[in-house]
Structure 1
């Protein structure tokens, strides 16, 4: 919600009137001098939207504020109307506190849905910052969302594998709930959120493989040469539920230089709907983008969300630090998922992250069954994994 500064306004006043933490208002605005606002300057107030109301005979701002459970001072701040001389037909704006979910995860969560939801979140919670870390093969921008200002840096990503797109909906549900309850000074799953915001910078890349996700959900791409390429790789079948790869038939989670040669010897040797590691490590723009982001930001820990199995992989060749075991023990306690240290599978992002940085890296396999997991599992998966999300921020 936007407010135009009037004489006597201050950020502290906005914080008091709208009951929004001052820190979030500060972080929602790029102000040269937060202590000296300029009359007419536009200020972003997180956690609110505006509703237009047309004045009827007998209306007062006090009545209108009561009907919408809006702060009267907030209504006055938002409007230039004379509160003692309202005219029928005149329009006023009412500040409405957002207490509902902006993200609907119970749907086929393709790239367009992601982009729409990102836009909604940024409009209501402008303290969330968006960056673009690269593009997919087909040129789709890969968004990164960042929440929090702390020195601890935590990264999470989802949908490395196309038919595991439910993980994207999961991360977007996490950030929606986190931002809403943080703004409203409410706990999330019994956890106080302001200390997490202050201590931790959270980086989310909610859809690493948008081209692949769109193939699984929407079928063959319209654009050439990708339509013909995907059709050939899939042997002319219009069934894409087993498709894990990007649009070029490369498995993005087999793309990392962490015993890549071992995987290359036992995996498909040409583009395939699943498991082809490519001609060499880090040939695909999506995998490169995540690697570059990790090198640039030097995260303290990284969690890659996959499906399925209700397990958490956390080791690589003995290079994982002691902290990893402490974290996975807590993740397992909170989720019921089984921690597995080593597995005969390499070249994944988690493997490379541990090898490259000697920091805790995890692959969280949500749910059970065959991917794409049914939407009917989402509620249970969310309840199982919300503890992993939150404890990654406070531990």
Structure 2
């Protein structure tokens, strides 16, 4: 398997996400789409929904700007899943029709479109935050190390799950490429949108794709339910990743979800190398990640 969105792509940005979602919903009318909100610069943050079952899954990617390859992984997964449902064929060893009937999946492929655009294109003097971004990026117009949004806030340090402890641990008190959690939890429109969307949709389980390391983090301060460990081991076995018990990390989306809902939440660190991960390893990475995501859907109760 392997969706067509991976072909001839050197990078994958906000415009491609919007265009490809439009193509998918035209090709597969049983898909639906919308927006969870807008970024700091007003870009839409679209979602794609597939499935009609009672168990509500959520996958998201590109919370960190230079991890945009996770958006392409999710979009290819969505295309392969939709095609398998339409053709009533096997999907990574599972029945696509059965998964569709058991679970509903909302995918937000690119949480941080402004940051992704900075990483891929840099900026010109007409950028609304030009002077500040230049200062925060140590005078450089090269943003390949940039993880934050357009206001220099790390969106995965933005959630109200021991946010103060994470801020003290990071000891970063001004905007920059990474690890600045903002002046308060949920100060950024992207984080607010994801939090509100999660609360409104009442997901039963979530996966946040990041890169890199080929690891799965599944716990948070003993708030996770008993099935989280078992599910993480299933996901790890499907992809050849490691399920890792993580301590000393707070304020992430997965942390907040587990603490708030006491339901399974996972951070999956895809691939191996330095961010942004190179495209020459994409097909192998996609093979691992697609198997993992299909296995996650198969964890949905019958």
**Normalized against structure 1, the TM-score is what?**
0.73
Structure 2 CA distance for aligned equivalents of residues 173 and 209 of structure 1: 18
Change (3 A) 1:188 1:252: same
Change (3 A) 1:157 1:222: farther
Q: Which residue of 1 aligns with 2:191?
A: 287
Q: Confirm or deny that 1:234 pairs with 2:137.
A: yes
Q: Report the Cα offset of residue 126 of structure 1.
A: 1.6
Q: Which residue of 1 aligns with 2:118?
A: 215
Q: Confirm or deny that 1:301 pairs with 2:205.
A: yes
Q: Which residue of 2 aligns with 1:147?
A: 50
Q: Confirm or deny that 1:338 pairs with 2:271.
A: no
Structure 1 CA distance for aligned equivalents of residues 151 and 73 of structure 2: 26
Change (3 A) 1:130 1:384: same
Change (3 A) 1:223 1:143: farther
Q: Report the Cα offset of residue 343 of structure 1.
A: 2.6
Q: Report the Cα offset of residue 102 of structure 1.
A: 4.2
1:329 aligned to which of 233, 236, 239: 233
Q: Which residue of 1 aligns with 2:106?
A: 203
Q: Which residue of 2 aligns with 1:70?
A: none
Unaligned runs of 5+ in 1: 1-98
Change (3 A) 1:119 1:269: same
Q: Which residue of 1 aligns with 2:85?
A: 182
Structure 2 CA distance for aligned equivalents of residues 107 and 236 of structure 1: 26
2:224 aligned to which of 310, 320, 327: 320
Tell which deviates more after alignment, 189-198 or 156-165.
189-198
Structure 2 CA distance for aligned equivalents of residues 309 and 297 of structure 1: 30
Q: Confirm or deny that 1:369 pairs with 2:257.
A: no
Structure 1 CA distance for aligned equivalents of residues 192 and 214 of structure 2: 28
Q: Confirm or deny that 1:107 pairs with 2:10.
A: yes
Q: State the structure with bigger RCO (CA 8 A, min sep 6), 1 or 2.
A: 2
Q: Kindly provide the CA deviation profile for residues 109-156 of structure 1, in whole angstroms up to 9, marking residues without a partner as x.
A: 011111111111111112110011100000001101110110000000
Structure 2 CA distance for aligned equivalents of residues 282 and 121 of structure 1: 31
Structure 2 CA distance for aligned equivalents of residues 368 and 326 of structure 1: 24
**Normalized against structure 2, the TM-score is what?**
0.95
Q: Report the Cα offset of residue 222 of structure 1.
A: 6.1
Change (3 A) 1:376 1:102: closer
Helix, strand or coil for the counterpart of 1:103? Answer: helix
Structure 2 CA distance for aligned equivalents of residues 375 and 275 of structure 1: 25
Q: Which residue of 1 aligns with 2:288?
A: 384
Unaligned runs of 5+ in 2: none
Q: Report the Cα offset of residue 345 of structure 1.
A: 1.4
Q: Which residue of 1 aligns with 2:176?
A: 272
Moved over 3 A (4+): 99-102, 221-224
Structure 1 CA distance for aligned equivalents of residues 126 and 248 of structure 2: 38
Matches within 5 A, 1:56-135: 101-104=3-6, 106-135=9-38
Change (3 A) 1:124 1:221: farther
Change (3 A) 1:291 1:100: closer
Tell whether the 8 Å contact from 1:102 to 1:117 is kept in structure 2 after alignment: no
Structure 2 CA distance for aligned equivalents of residues 100 and 307 of structure 1: 20
